[in-house]
């Protein structure tokens, strides 16, 4: 099994919880040439009527200037990593179980499968946890799938 593991630098901004709020922010980034690979929105439970929009990547001065002008800022508190690889039944369970046994708490996790490949985004509380999670992923790749 092979995996690809990359740090994702996330930008975020608050948005109104109403139709068009996300689209208007994404329009600004699209006009600046952003080719986004990660978009996530969530309502803010502690602030009714508001949400947060997270995006990545933003590259170059034109995109970062446009993002800042639209109210985005680098989202420093979220150590997000993109994981890609060959999919197999039970992989997500084995991976998250090993992270649990190592005492790693996930801030967020999203995984999807297309054909025989998967892509996921895993968020960690700190760099140490992210590095440890990467090593566990590498170890799983070397070990391969479990033998029945």
Tell me the whole-structure pTM to 2 decimals.
0.82
User: 87, 22 in Cβ contact below 8 A?
Assistant: no
Q: What is the CATH number of the domain that holds 44?
A: 3.30.70.260
Is the same domain home to 121 and 137? yes
Verify cis geometry, omega within 30 degrees of 0, for the bond prior to 141. Answer: no
Assess if residue 55 is contained within a domain.
yes
Q: What tens-digit pLDDT sequence spans the chain (148 residues)?
A: 678 999 999 999 999 999 999 999 999 999 999 999 999 999 999 999 999 999 999 999 999 999 999 999 998 777 899 999 998 888 889 999 999 999 999 999 999 999 999 999 999 999 999 999 999 988 887 555 555 5
What is d(CA 115, CA 138) in angstroms, rounded to the nearest whole number? 22
Give the number of domains in the chain.
Answer: 2
Is the same domain home to 84 and 96? yes
Assess if residue 148 is contained within a domain.
no
Is the same domain home to 65 and 109? no
Domain that holds residue 69: 10-74
Six-digit token pair at 102? 């190592």
Is the same domain home to 85 and 63? no
């Amino acid at each position: 099994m092979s995996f690809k593991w990359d740090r994702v630098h996330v930008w975020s901004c608050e948005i109104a919880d109403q139709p068009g709020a996300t689209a208007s922010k994404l329009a600004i980034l699209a006009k600046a040439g952003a080719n986004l690979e990660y978009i996530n929105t969530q309502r803010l439970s502690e602030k009714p009527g508001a949400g947060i929009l997270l995006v990545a990547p933003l590259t170059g001065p034109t995109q970062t200037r446009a993002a800042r002008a639209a109210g985005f800022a680098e989202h420093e508190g979220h150590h997000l990593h993109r994981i890609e690889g060959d999919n197999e039944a039970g992989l997500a369970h084995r991976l998250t179980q090993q992270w649990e046994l190592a005492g790693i708490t996930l801030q967020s996790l999203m995984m999807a499968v297309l054909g025989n490949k998967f892509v996921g985004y895993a968020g960690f509380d700190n760099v140490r946890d992210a590095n440890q999670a990467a090593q566990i992923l590498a170890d799983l790749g070397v070990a391969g799938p479990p033998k029945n």
